[in-house]
Each structure stands twice: as structure tokens, then as C-alpha cells.
């Protein structure tokens, strides 16, 4: 790769974490993870409870020092120059940091001042954040009097009022009704056009609807990092859908070489998990004919993100 290509690639990455670890006593909550975020993309950050997501996000935002590793934000080392690095960040924790006794405009004005937005630009910044988050009609209302959905919008507005390069959102749609969730998802997608966004959520359809890439943590390690399409494709070949008219017991199917497990489904169907680098299809077809199982269907199962997530996080990461 030429020096020009290298500099272009470096410029495209707004956030980079290398070898990030955090230990509490003798336990590694986060163990040597790498993460890269490019400009103009929405990254889904997933993992079961206790996987280390919150600890990782605290390190990425400079709220917790790593035991080892480094974080670079728009080319600025977070540990060496925390103030300069954090100026590129906007952060919405799971519980929005709102002052309920201020109205929306007052609160966003305060946040803009804390982010050192110049006085001459402050009113414009507050107005723009308010409009982008659909807060124009409630600017003079007390935050404590707003609905949960509007409070969540205020939380996002405070994260973007200073026009950061990177926006980190932790569970932004928790507790919202379906209409509010739709609005917030549309807002996040719109933010991804101009910013880099990390979205931490347990709602897997949300990831499929919004995100360009996904990274999955388990037991403090990163177990997957790629696009959602590649994630599904990776696991499509590991699962077969089998339909039989006269099926045997699932244990007999699970005993076939190349089959890791057989899960009974409705209508005499089975979901077969295939062992790595194996293809038991021909063996299953031959046995079905020999034992008169009445084979009517066999082929790769369509894998949902939920299936893949469960497969990656059900057991210890390998």
C-alpha cells in the first residue's frame, strides 16, 4: 500500500482501540480487544450481560483508564491528550445525564458551554441540535415534564450539540414505545451520514435496521467483527434445515458424522448444526434413502442475527 493510501486509511478511521484491556483485581473484564470506527458508519456493539461492553465504552470515552492498550480519537491519543481527544466525542449513557429542572434550551446551552462551543456559535449549535432531534416544539418546557421519548431525544441532542466526529450511544431506545423507537432509529441513521456512531444495544432487529457493521463481545474478548451480511453468510453454511416424513429420533441424526447437534422443529423438521469444515449432506441423503425417512427437504437454514448471536455467545469464546 502506498504512503498516500496509508494516510487516507488513517484519516478514514475516527476511532481506533488497540490491545485494550482492563483488569479488576485478578479478573480481566476486557481482554485485549481491537476496535476501529470509520467516518460515516454506524457500528453495532453487542454482547450478553457481563461481556465487558460497558467497561469498554467507559474506556473509549475516557471515563476509565485501561490497564493496557491505547485509544486514538481522530488521531489524538486519549491517554496523552484527554481534553483534545474528548472534544471529538459525544456520549449518551444508558441513563441520560439530564438536569430535570432546566428547560431544553437552557440545558443544551449549558452543555454547549461545557463543550467550549464559541459564544458566537452557541445559539446556532443549540438550535441545530434541537431541530435534528425533533425538539423544536418543546424547547421551553422543563426536561422533568417531558415524556421518556422526548427525554431520550434531549439526551441525544446533548451528545451532538458540539458537532462531534464520534457519537457513542448506550441503549438509546430502552423503555420507549414503538413509535418513539422508530423515530430514534431514523435519527441515529441520519446521524450516521455525517458522524461516526457506536450503538450499544440488546435489540437485535435494531442492529439489522441501523448498523453497517457489528462487533460482538463475549467474556471480555471480541468474538466477531465484520458486516452483518458477512456474519450471516459465515453461519449459513454451519446450519442445515432437514425435513423428513418419517423422522428418526433427534439423537440418531446428531450421531451422523459431521453433525454437531439436531434440534427438532415443527412439522417433522430439524435444524442441524454442522461441525466446522464438514458437509454431511450426502451422508444424510444416503441414510434417508436407506432407512426410508422420506426426505423432503435439506439445505442451508436462513440464519437470523439472533441465531448467530446465540451461537457466538452461548459457549466460551474460542
The structural domains of the chain, with segments of one domain joined by +, span 9-232, 237-313
Alpha-carbon gap, residue 145 to 142, rounded angstroms: 5
The kind and range of the H/E element at 199 are strand 196-200
pLDDT of residue 303: 63
pLDDT digits (tens, 9 = 90+) for 290-318: 999 999 999 887 666 777 777 777 755 44
Please calculate the CA angle 197-229-13 and round it to the nearest 5 degrees.
35
pLDDT digits (tens, 9 = 90+) for 249-264: 999 999 999 999 998 9
Calculate the dihedral angle through the C-alpha atoms of 221, 212, 88, 81, rounding to the nearest 10 degrees: 30
User: From residue 296, how far is each of 121, 240, 285 by CA, in Å?
Assistant: 68, 13, 10
CATH of 237-313, one of 3.20.20, 1.10.10, 3.40.50, 3.30.70: 3.30.70
Burial state string for 177-188 with b = 16 or more CB within 10 A and e = fewer than 16: eeebbebbbebb
Helix (H, G, I), strand (E, B) or coil at 243: strand
Which residues does the chain have with pLDDT short of 70? 1-11, 231-237, 302-304, 315-318
Sign of the alpha-carbon dihedral angle for 111, 115, 120, 123: negative
What class has domain 9-232? alpha beta
Alpha-carbon gap, residue 199 to 228, rounded angstroms: 14
Amino acid at each position: 500500500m502506498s504512503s498516500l493510501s496509508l494516510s487516507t486509511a488513517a484519516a478514514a478511521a475516527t476511532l481506533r482501540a488497540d490491545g485494550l484491556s482492563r483488569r479488576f483485581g485478578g479478573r480481566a473484564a476486557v481482554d485485549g480487544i481491537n476496535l476501529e470506527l470509520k467516518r460515516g458508519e454506524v457500528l453495532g456493539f453487542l454482547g450478553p450481560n457481563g461481556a465487558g461492553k460497558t467497561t469498554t465504552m467507559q474506556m473509549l470515552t475516557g471515563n476509565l483508564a485501561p490497564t493496557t492498550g491505547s485509544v486514538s480519537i481522530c488521531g489524538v491519543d486519549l491517554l496523552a491528550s484527554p481534553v483534545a481527544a474528548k472534544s471529538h466525542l459525544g456520549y449518551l449513557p444508558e441513563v441520560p445525564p439530564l438536569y430535570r429542572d432546566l428547560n431544553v434550551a437552557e440545558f443544551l446551552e449549558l452543555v454547549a458551554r461545557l463543550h467550549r462551543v464559541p459564544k458566537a456559535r452557541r445559539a446556532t449549535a443549540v438550535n441545530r441540535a434541537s431541530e435534528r432531534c425533533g425538539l423544536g416544539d418543546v424547547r421551553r418546557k422543563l426536561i422533568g415534564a417531558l415524556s421518556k421519548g422526548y427525554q431520550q431525544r434531549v439526551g441525544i441532542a446533548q451528545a451532538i450539540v458540539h458537532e462531534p466526529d464520534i457519537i457513542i450511544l448506550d441503549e438509546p431506545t430502552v423503555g420507549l414505545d414503538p413509535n418513539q423507537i422508530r423515530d430514534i432509529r431514523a435519527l441515529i441513521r441520519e446521524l450516521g451520514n455525517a458522524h461516526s456512531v457506536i450503538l450499544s444495544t440488546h435489540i437485535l432487529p435494531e442492529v439489522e435496521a441501523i448498523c453497517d457493521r457489528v462487533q460482538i463481545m463475549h467474556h471480555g474478548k471480541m468474538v466477531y467483527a465484520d458486516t452483518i451480511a458477512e456474519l450471516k453468510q459465515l453461519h449459513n453454511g454451519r446450519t442445515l434445515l432437514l425435513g423428513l416424513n418419517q423422522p428418526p429420533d433427534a439423537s440418531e441424526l446428531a450421531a451422523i458424522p459431521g453433525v454437531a447437534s439436531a434440534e427438532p422443529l415443527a412439522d417433522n423438521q430439524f435444524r442441524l448444526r454442522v461441525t466446522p469444515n464438514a458437509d454431511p449432506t450426502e451422508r444424510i441423503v444416503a441414510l434417508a434413502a436407506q432407512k426410508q425417512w422420506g426426505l423432503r427437504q435439506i439445505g442451508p437454514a436462513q440464519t437470523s442475527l439472533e441465531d448467530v448471536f446465540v451461537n457466538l455467545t452461548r459457549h466460551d469464546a474460542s
